[in-house]
């Protein structure tokens, strides 16, 4: 018996039943790092974060890769224009179908035989040495008999909890990290562990903890970054009272010089207040640009205030300024004297 409980049991790979027909040639992400040498070919199921990162890495190491998706999703990308751009870019390296129709998976003497239909509806059969299941993760709460704890659960049997306190209902039970299946990222899990631990220790004096601005990064090439609200969330909050600024990195100076001129950045702002609300990006240096935008968002900066910040020349971050200027115009916010002064330099 315990007066307070913190559930932090993590998660495990979630493998659809039909993939198990690959038998001993079925692997998950952890298995790859135990290989002593590389196979000739790998079929990757799931173009999410793990699938994209490992699939592209294997392809660049010389492994023949084909990636299969079902729902049309691609990593964390929500905007159709950016998703289509990224999909086209990845397909330049290896076949990636986000809406594949897989007919069968079979273990044979030669490996794993997969029969599938592509976008043109033609049926194809290919054999791979291994099948990598990158089809998401499942919280490790299903074998804990949580139904006996007298707390509410969702449709999947996971405890319902408060986002800011991590408390399950008004109980003495708290849940943190991958176990709650909300935001399975290390920096979020670290914050949640602190919040849940503090609240469990001081229970029943439960307090809201600091939840940082959402920030997600995918370490592909080009990289992917998501910051703050998605475009759908912006639309729901602002009821159409918002604008989207954009920039293509194909013509961005520094990106062209270093041969990394692929990608798009979209930034969102609220009409009237001018507040910066979020961004989605597929392009160069997204891991760094994502941090800059997340910091600005957490400080509740307006788009105009962000444009008063320094931008060196020539750097990739100048593309961020281009997107913010485009957003500022679309928000109907007039020229900012400080920005123009900084652009002109001393005495300008």
Q: 72: left (phi > 0), else alpha (psi -120 to 50), else beta?
A: left
Q: Does domain 215-344 have CATH number 3.40.50.880?
A: no
Going by the DSSP 8-state scheme, the letter that residue 317 receives in this structure is T
Tokens 């993939």 correspond to: 19
Which residues, 6+ apart, have CB-to-CB distance to 341 below 8 Å? 348
Residue segments in the chain with a per-residue pLDDT below the cut of 70: 334-348
- Enumerate the CATH 3.50.50.60 domain ranges in the chain, comma separated: 5-12+139-202, 17-134
Tell me what pLDDT residue 104 has: 96
What distance lies between CA 236 and its chain's CA centroid? 20
Residues, the chain, total? Answer: 348
User: ω into residue 222 within 30 of 0, thus cis?
Assistant: yes
State the pLDDT at residue 338. 52
What pTM does this model have?
0.91
Which residues have a Cβ under 8 Å from the Cβ of 300 and sit 6 or more positions away? 275
> The domain 17-134 belongs to what CATH superfamily?
FAD/NAD(P)-binding domain (3.50.50.60)
Which residue from 212, 331, 344 is spatially nearest to 274, judged by alpha carbons? 331
The kind and range of the H/E element at 116 are strand 111-117
* Topology given in CATH for the domain delimited by 5-12+139-202: FAD/NAD(P)-binding domain (3.50.50)
The end-to-end CA distance of the chain, in Å, is: 72
Could you give the residue range(s) of every CATH 3.30.390.30 domain in the chain? 215-344
State which H helix or E strand residue 264 sits in. Answer: strand 264-270
Distance CA 52, CA 45 (A): 10
């Amino acid at each position: 018996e315990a007066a307070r409980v913190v559930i932090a049991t993590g998660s495990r790979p979630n493998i659809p039943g039909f993939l198990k027909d690959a038998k001993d040639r079925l692997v998950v992400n952890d298995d790859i790092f135990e290989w002593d040498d590389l196979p000739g070919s790998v079929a990757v199921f799931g173009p999410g974060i793990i699938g994209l990162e490992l699939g592209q890495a294997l392809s660049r190491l010389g492994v023949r890769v084909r990636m299969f998706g079902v729902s049309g999703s691609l990593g964390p990308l929500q905007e159709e224009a950016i998703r289509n751009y990224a999909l086209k870019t990845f397909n330049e390296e290896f076949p990636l179908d986000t809406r594949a129709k897989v007919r069968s998976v079979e273990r044979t003497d030669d490996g794993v035989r997969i029969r599938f239909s592509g976008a043109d509806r033609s049926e194809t059969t290919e054999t791979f040495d291994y099948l990598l299941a990158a089809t998401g993760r499942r919280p490790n709460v299903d074998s804990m008999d949580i139904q006996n704890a007298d707390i509410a659960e969702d449709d999947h049997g996971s405890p319902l909890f408060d986002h800011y306190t991590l408390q399950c209902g008004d109980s003495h039970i708290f849940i943190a990290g991958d176990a709650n299946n909300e935001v399975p990222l290390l920096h979020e899990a670290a914050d949640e562990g602190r919040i849940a631990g503090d609240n469990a220790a001081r229970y029943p004096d439960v307090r809201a903890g600091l939840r940082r601005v959402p920030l997600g990064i995918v370490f592909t090439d080009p990289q992917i970054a998501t910051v703050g609200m998605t475009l759908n969330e912006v639309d729901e909050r602002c009821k159409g009272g918002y604008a989207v600024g954009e920039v293509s990195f194909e013509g961005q100076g520094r990106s062209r010089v270093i041969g990394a001129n692929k990608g798009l950045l979209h930034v969102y702002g609220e009409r009237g207040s001018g507040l910066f609300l979020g961004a989605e990006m597929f392009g160069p240096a997204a891991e760094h640009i994502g941090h800059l935008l997340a910091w600005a968002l957490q400080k509740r900066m307006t788009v105009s205030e962000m444009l008063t910040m320094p931008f060196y020349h020539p750097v990739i971050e100048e593309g961020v300024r281009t997107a913010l200027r485009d957003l500022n115009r679309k928000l109907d916010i007039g020229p900012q004297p400080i920005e123009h002064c900084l652009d002109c330099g001393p005495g300008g």
